[in-house]
């Protein structure tokens, strides 16, 4: 279970290339995208406390709480011998309100190499959640699962969230 969590976290939080943190960029960039980039940057710095602030709270709860979640990340030997080259985030889908929570989806494409192998790219879907009208966001990596598969573990995910456009 921990290895699966670490792999999922790796997919969520690989490496960002060319992040632009200028004031001008942040004025035009959606807040959900800004928060996703902050999450990724924290993971790269191995600032797992900050990183965990951006992880969907139900996932952290299911891992035994924030401290246990952070400890598991700190104890994992992440990225040893691997090279993270790039991660790109798509523009988010339109946010929809479901049971008082805004939800949207983003596609993440990660390029990395394992050992001395050639770089490979893989994509994954993120669902963003905001319970404060979009002021702050948390994220759940759902890989390429369907909404019905996701709802088995996380029933608060909205039926009308469209992940198909992200593939």
- CATH classification of the domain holding 63: 3.10.450.50
Q: Using the predicted structure, report yes or no on whether residue 23 has a pLDDT greater than 80.
A: no
Give the DSSP letter of residue 132.
S
Where residue 165 falls among pLDDT bands split at 50, 70, 90? low
Secondary structure element (H or E) that encloses residue 150, with its range: helix 147-153
Dihedral of alpha carbons 14, 18, 21, 24, sign: negative
Mode of pairing for the β-strands spanning 96-98 and 82-89:
unpaired
SS3 20: coil
- pLDDT value for 26: 52
Question: Tokens 């985030």 belong to which residue?
Answer: 89
Do 125 and 109 meet the contact criterion of CB atoms below 8 Å apart? no
Residue-number span of the structural domain to which 104 is assigned: 2-166
Mode of pairing for the β-strands spanning 120-130 and 138-143:
antiparallel
Taking the C-alpha atoms of residue 37 and residue 20, their distance in angstroms, rounded to an integer, is: 10
State the angle between helix axes of 2-12 and 66-75 in degrees (0 to 180), rounded to the nearest 10: 80
Do 100 and 84 meet the contact criterion of CB atoms below 8 Å apart? no
Q: Is 81 left (phi over 0), alpha (psi -120 to 50) or beta?
A: left
- 39-59 pLDDT per residue, tens: 988 987 889 999 999 999 999
Number of domains observed in the structure of the chain: 1
Q: What is the mean pLDDT of residues 93-101?
A: 94
| Lowest-pLDDT range of 44-58, 88-102, 109-123, 125-139 | 109-123
SS3 143: strand
* Global confidence as pTM: 0.79
């Amino acid at each position: 279970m921990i290895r699966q969590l670490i792999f999922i976290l790796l997919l969520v939080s690989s490496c960002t290339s060319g992040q632009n943190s200028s004031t001008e960029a942040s004025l035009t960039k959606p807040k959900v995208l800004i928060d996703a980039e902050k999450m990724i940057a924290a993971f790269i710095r191995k600032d797992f406390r900050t990183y965990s602030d951006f992880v969907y709270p139900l996932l952290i709860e299911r891992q035994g709480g924030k401290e246990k979640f952070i400890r598991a990340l700190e104890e994992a030997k992440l990225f040893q011998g691997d090279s993270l080259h790039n991660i790109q985030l798509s523009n988010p889908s339109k946010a929809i309100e479901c049971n008082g929570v805004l939800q949207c989806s983003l596609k993440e494409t990660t390029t990395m190499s394992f050992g001395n192998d050639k770089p490979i790219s893989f994509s994954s879907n993120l669902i963003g959640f905001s319970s404060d009208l979009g002021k702050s966001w948390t994220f759940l990596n759902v890989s390429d699962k369907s909404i019905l598969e996701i709802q088995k573990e996380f029933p608060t995910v909205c039926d009308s969230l469209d992940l198909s456009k992200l593939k």
